[in-house]
Amino acid sequence: MMAYKSINKNRKVQNWIFFIFSLISIGSFYPFVHNYIFFGDYKVLASLSLMAVWFFWIILTNKRLTFPNPAFSKIIFIQILFLFFAAFLLDSVSNYMTLFYLLLSWISLFLILNSFNVLFFLKNFIRLNILMGFLSILGVVLFAIGNLKLLGTYQYQGDSQIYNYGLLFIKRTSEISHELRPAGYYDEPGSFAFVVMFLLLLNRKYFHNMKWEYLLIFLPLVTTSLAHIVTIIVFAFIFYFNKKQIKNIFFSLIVIFSLSFLVVSFSNIKSIDYFKTRTLGRIENIIEGGDDASRQGGLDLGPKIFAENPWGNSREEIAKNYPGFVHETFWGPLIYYGIFGVAFYFLPFIYFGIRSLWNKNTMGILFLFVVCLNLLQRPSYMYPLFIILIYFLFFKSEKSTKY
């Protein structure tokens, strides 16, 4: 009995070591930014070095290796070949970088699958994001009363900077005293919302934990992310609007209306007014036919650029000729990969959609619909964290996963 407890304790310690390894390893790549604190300009080198150590540890200690789903691996291989030829034909260095991220994503997934149980990783990653939500709320309150200090800034993506407030990160081009949109430890609120959307679906698939679900819905509201607001509205229509969930609907509406009332009532405070403008104000603006300024550069220029060359374009050339183009819209993949290449770019989702329709997997189709909704405004998904979440959501069966 003592030997069993000792083995079990060692396994738990090893699980937590690998979990920390996973966060640090993929923490230097979009949308994470927390590795700026730990490693600064050497963040990528540190991540790759840790992954190398982690890889050899697994190879030397695991008697049996686990590889990602064969269908998923074939899709990744096809996409890598496509990106290689696209980079060569379009003379686009950025496609080589995307290829690198995709290969790194598969390796990261291989490391996770051979380190601990899938549910251990997902359970604690969900908890980590819930903690980010609590810290974000606490940080906003402390910031509003002047008790949250700036610990450092880091150059990020051209003119933008990451502001480190300890409890949370924010990204912006200038320091404005009353404007704070927390992003947890991601690069921006939209990234936090994008990840939370996956976690809501993963929780539905593997855990069915309603406390986690409510926390994942309401805590990220402090980020004022329109993407999160739209996602939870659609999520609620899909999963709550039925007779069995009438109590949950009623409770959710009370909470939403109460929050809206408080926001409007205290809008004379600058920080509260900013929150109102970024949430209720943006929804009202869109309903009235206004534009979403954060994406308008892509929506306006996208049709023009695509019409000029629908067969694919180099990112570098687009950035040079159309500096105002915002690629984080559904026009981005169409413009960069063309009318034929875009199918290769979205191949994992196309494959899962066809398979779900063939197998009459209604829940899978609903999951895919929610994901595609967010892909319309954030289509760049070929990064380790996103690929890992996509794999567990669409390519890993919950029936084959045990504690």
Q: Tens digits of per-residue pLDDT, 199-209?
A: 999 999 999 99
Q: For the residues 302-312, what does the mean pLDDT come to?
A: 83
Q: Following DSSP, what letter does each residue of 366-386 receive, concatenated?
A: HHHHHHHHHHTT-----SHHH
**Pairing mode of beta strands 161-164, 169-172:** antiparallel
Q: Is position 3 within any domain? A: no
**Rounded to whole angstroms, how far apart are CA atoms 137 and 139?**
5
pLDDT digits (tens, 9 = 90+) for 150-179: 888 888 876 778 888 887 777 765 555 445
Q: How many structural domains comprise the chain? A: 1
pLDDT for the residue numbered 63:
81
Instruction: With a cut of 70, say whether residue 95 has pLDDT above it.
Output: yes
**Does residue 1 lie within any of the structural domains?**
no
Cα 197 to Cα 201: distance, rounded to the nearest angstrom: 7
Instruction: Specify the residue for token string 């990451």.
Output: 162
Q: How confident is the model at residue 105 (pLDDT cuts 50, 70, 90)?
A: very high
Q: Is residue 367 part of a domain?
A: yes
Q: pLDDT band for position 259 (50/70/90)?
A: low
pLDDT tens per residue, range 6-32: 556 677 888 999 999 999 999 999 999
pLDDT of residue 6: 52
| Predicted confidence (pLDDT) at residue 272 exceeds the cutoff of 70 | no
Mean pLDDT of 244-268: 56
Q: Quick check: is 353 in a domain?
A: yes
CB of 266 closer than 8 Å to CB of 248: no
Cβ atoms of 106 and 161 closer than 8 Å: no
Domain membership of residue 323 (yes or no) is yes
Distance in angstroms (rounded) separating the CA atoms of residues 403 and 385:
22
Residue 5 lies in a domain: no
The verdict on residue 4 lying in a domain is no
Q: How far is CA 382 from each of CA 25, 115, 389, 390, rounded to the nearest angstrom?
A: 16, 22, 11, 10
pLDDT tens for 339-384 read 989 999 999 999 999 999 999 999 999 999 999 988 887 889 999 9
Per the structure, the complete domain to which residue 282 belongs is given by 10-400
Tell whether 223 is covered by a domain.
yes
Q: What is the mean pLDDT of the chain?
A: 81
In angstroms, how far is CA 162 from the centroid of its own chain? 17
